[in-house]
Amino acid sequence: MCIADHLVEAAEGGDVFLVARLLAEGAAVDARNSMGRTALDLASFRGHPEVVRLLITAGADPEQPAGEHRESTPLCLAAAHGRTAVVEALIDAGVHLRAQGRMRWVPLVLAATSGDEGHPRTVTLLLDRGADINAVMKGRTSHEWAARFGQVQMVRRLLGRGATPTAKALTAAHEYTERHPESQRKNALIIDALRVASATAD
């Protein structure tokens, strides 16, 4: 196994002491392993903030291409998997919060919509650190995507933080009900929240 493979494996496993030793022995901080992944890529994905901070201090590019096909970024991977402490470490390193990577993914949208109800702590951190709550990814904002996926609590959370209630979100909520009639009662809560927020905004 080459030294790059060792470094990436140690970073993925969260072994901060081994990562430090391998870097001291001359491992290139952004070298890719045999699968094309870097230490920062997999440390971000697995949720190891101490390793992430060490790698960045050692010179790792915090905005490097990441993911299995280099389609993402460390921040997007961390946001999509609710790795809040890693997200904080990357923001502290100066990573911007706008659309990024080859796919132009928006970290806030990923944090808000991944999983059954998104990742509330990660969303809160991103918003507290300056993420644009109305940023658009693939034609929709985070709360419009949350409405489309039937995520009641996330829609409420985002509206409570100042998301602009839109006709597109209301349409998305109705479409979700049509696709999932068994969730009609739950989705009625989204529709009500959007209508109340819209009336308040007016």
Instruction: Convert the pLDDT of each residue in 70-123 to its tens digit.
Output: 999 999 999 999 999 999 999 999 999 999 999 999 999 999 999 888 999 999
Amino acid at 197: A
Residues 6+ apart with CB under 8 A from 52: 40, 43, 44, 74, 86, 89, 90
pTM score = 0.92
Q: Taking 90 as the threshold, does the pLDDT of residue 15 lie above it? A: yes
- Each domain of the chain, given as residue ranges in start order, spans 1-132, 141-202
How many Å apart are CA 187 and CA 158, to the nearest integer? 16
pLDDT digits (tens, 9 = 90+) for 104-119: 999 999 999 998 889 9
How many Å apart are CA 138 and CA 105, to the nearest integer?
Answer: 8
Category of 162 on φ-ψ map: left (φ > 0), alpha (ψ -120 to 50) or beta: left
pLDDT tens-place string over residues 18-32: 999 999 999 999 999
Under 8 Å between Cβ of 168 and 144: yes
CATH homologous superfamily, domain 1-132: Ankyrin repeat-containing domain (1.25.40.20)
